Structure formats: C-alpha cells, structure tokens
Amino acid sequence: MNTPVYVCKGSCHAKVSEEQYNNGLTRCGAIDCTEKNQPFTKMYEFVECYELLEEDVPHNH
C-alpha cells in the first residue's frame, strides 16, 4: 500500500501528511533548511518498505 505524503527536498527532509498539506502546510518552514519557504514535493510512501518515491516512478521489490 502506498500513502501520499509531501516532502521537503532540502536539508531538513520534513514530511507532512496529505491532510496537513490540504490544511495549509504547503511549504518548508524550518529555519536552517536549504529549501526554506519552498513548496513540498508530493511523493508516495510505501509502508511495506518505507521507501519514498515521486509520482510516476515504478516501485518494484
């Protein structure tokens, strides 16, 4: 099963849920992050292996 999450690609690697993102948490706010104020990237977290992949990236075991 995969779960949509939103991830900061900067140094903090923050991850927020789809619910948090839809409630307005759409940009990184970490003070020391290299991507501060940049929008999060939508990714999918595969709960079986904890891998994070962007949309349209094949996932194989």
Instruction: Give the helix ranges, DSSP H, for 4-61.
Output: 18-22
pLDDT digits (tens, 9 = 90+) for 26-43: 999 999 999 999 999 999
Residue 25 in any domain: the answer is yes
Distance of CA 44 to the CA centre of its chain: 8
Residue 18 in any domain: the answer is yes
pLDDT digits (tens, 9 = 90+) for 11-20: 999 999 999 9
Residue 60 in any domain: the answer is no
Residue 59 in any domain: the answer is no
At residue 20, the 3 state secondary structure works out as helix
Q: Count structural domains, the chain.
A: 1
Residue 61 in any domain: the answer is no
Among candidate residues 28, 30, 6, the one with its CA nearest the CA of residue 16: 6
Name the residue range of residue 47's domain.
2-54
Residue 42 in any domain: the answer is yes
Question: Which tokens is 38 given?
Answer: 């940049």
Task: Enter the pTM of the model.
Answer: 0.85
Distance CA 30, CA 15 (A): 12
